[in-house]
Amino acid sequence: MSQTTAAPPSAGTGSSEQGAAPAAVPGARTAPASAADRAIKRQRVLDVLDAKGADSLLLTTHTALTWYLDGSRMHISLAGDPIAALLVDRRGDHLVTFNNEAGRIAAEELPSGVDLYTVQWYGNLHEAASAVGRSAGVSAAPLAEGEVAAELRAARQQLLPAESARYGRLGAEVAEIMTDVLSTARPETSEFELVSALAARVVAAGAEPLVLLCNGSSRSEFRHPLATHSPLGRRAMAVVCARRDGMVANITRWIRFDAGTAEERDAEARIAAVEADIFDATVPGAQLDRIFAEIKAAYARHGFGAEQWEQHHQGGPAGYAGRDPRVTAAATDTVVLNQAFTWNPSGPGVKIEDTVQLTESGLQVLTADPRWPATAVNGLQRPLTLEL
């Protein structure tokens, strides 16, 4: 076959040109996709097609693919491009992958009702997926993701029941991992030792550690501290961004081996107050640019200075990307119920971060472990520094 021609599908049965999916074995993975959630997601994409007067859309990014397929893994390298592309058209959903990936995808990642096509490992996924539409007599090229980026982001905002449940389980497990690992740390523990223990637990939970950060007391001025061989010293911060079934849970925690200074405790309380103001602004119907304006005002209000927001990104909506998108003055997306967020205000030597979901009863913290010390801030339990 040529580089751009996909082999025919197997009628959406989960088999490929390499043969039928092998029999299930104990502990083997099955695609987590919910049929009910998938149907809603497909209708949301069809609505985008209707609004654009188009017949098909080509999904090519990790964020879009894992969202639309409802939790299928479409990566090999965490730093690489997806190993599949998906054409959504009026007939159905058509996934094209490389011939050397098709067997595993059919067995472990393919939701029901999705046709699977293959192209040689040296072929072009995007061209092959587009050719699937042409073979059905569709002359117009499919819409590219970039042409409907805002519309797809809006389609992802409101999390559906099954994916909300998966996200909640992931958040709770990541919080438990942080408690377990950080509780065993000592001043002489190195930053690398701490993040390697976190990574081991994240992978054992069936997730991918997308971000692992740590700074000991000698490096507390860095907002994005990649780990080093430095010992933790008297206090430390750890950050984990873990992805499972396409969804990313983000969390920051602090530990120290003394009572802390008065200045540290004051800054910790003030950064929690900044976060509380951001939470108060995160309500249905709010625009992200208006929330961003409130973030800037909150820093000044709580004594961090009017320009502190410039020293680090402030977070934003979460879910199938670490931030979807990062909030800026140019982000005008509107907040909706059941949307997830990870805000992360920070100041010199302080930072607070959890993944939350906006529900009918208010914000629910997903990355929470009742064993971690916490205090009520505006009625919501927020993490304190763990003193060891």
Say which amino acid occupies 5. T
Region 107-127: mean pLDDT is 97
Task: Write the secondary structure of 242-278 as one string of H (helix), E (strand) and C (coil).
Answer: EEECCEEEEEEEEEECCCCCHHHHHHHHHHHHHHHHH
- In tens, the pLDDT along 206-227 reads 999 999 999 999 999 999 999 9
Which pLDDT belongs to residue 335? 98
Say if residue 134's pLDDT is above 90: no
Mean per-residue pLDDT of the chain: 93
Strand order in the sheet with 235-244: 208-215, 235-244, 247-256, 386-387
Percent of the chain topping pLDDT 90 = 90
CATH superfamily of 161-387: Creatinase/methionine aminopeptidase superfamily (3.90.230.10)
Interatomic CA distance for residues 283 and 281, integer angstroms: 6
Query: Given its phi and psi angles, is residue 192 left (phi above 0), alpha (psi -120 to 50 degrees) or beta?
Result: alpha
CATH of domain 35-148: 3.40.350.10
Which pLDDT belongs to residue 237? 98
Residue limits of CATH 3.40.350.10 in the chain? 35-148
Q: Predicted confidence band at 28 (pLDDT cuts at 50, 70, 90)?
A: confident
Residue limits of CATH 3.90.230.10 in the chain? 161-387
- In tens, the pLDDT along 258-300 reads 999 999 999 999 999 999 999 999 999 999 999 999 999 999 9
Of 35, 97, 74, 89, the closest CA to residue 320 belongs to 74
331's CB contacts (< 8 A; 6+ apart) are 288, 289, 292, 316, 325
Region 309-330: mean pLDDT is 97
Which pLDDT belongs to residue 303? 98
Determine the angle formed by the axes of helices 35-52 and 161-182, rounding to 10 degrees: 110
Higher local confidence (pLDDT), 152 or 21: 152
Say which amino acid occupies 203. V
Say if residue 305's pLDDT is above 80: yes
Say if residue 13's pLDDT is above 50: no
Helix (H) or strand (E) holding 347: strand 346-347
